[in-house]
Amino acid sequence: MAEASGAREGRRPRLRDLGIVIGTLPPGPLNAITDVLEVRVGLATVIHDGDPARPEFGPARTGVTAIHPHRGSAFTSRVPAAVAVLNGAGEITGRSQIDEHGLLESPILITNTHSVGVAHRACVEWLARRTPTIGRKHFVIPVVAETFDGFLNDGA
């Protein structure tokens, strides 16, 4: 088998480098989610090595990623959405609403297992500051997905 171009450059080859094409659309110039017009991605990372004087607070390598579907309000300008489950053990808030209505009304947040609650609350507060009717005339169920990063930090 011929060596894939990605392997020659010292990086792991992509499926397309190996002749395997997924889907029908070509990738964007960066092969990234941000190639989609108006999609924005932000992140916050927490890194600390712990405090030897307080061993109960171990090291942390964690954070949150936010994917915003467009430049406007995700709540007032909802976008079509669907959920595909690859591993049914993970939790996703807002999933039932997407399954029922087929619409996304918040940014998508991805964080560690123990931070789903705080990310959910922060998203509701962030959206409510931008849309004052949330909490009065309307409600929002943000999409927050968890990922296990326990190998990187002391999640206790």
3-state secondary structure of 107: coil
14-32 residue pLDDT tens: 888 899 998 898 889 998 9
> Using CA atoms, how far apart are residues 104 and 92, in angstroms rounded to an integer?
13
54-81 residue pLDDT tens: 777 778 888 999 999 999 999 999 999 9
> Using CA atoms, how far apart are residues 6 and 79, in angstroms rounded to an integer?
35
Task: Kindly tell me if the per-residue pLDDT of 139 is higher than 60.
Answer: yes
Answer for the pair 97, 82: CB distance below 8 angstroms, yes or no.
Answer: no
* Paired residues of 148 in beta bridges: none
The residue-averaged pLDDT of 70-97 equals 91
Average pLDDT, the chain: 87
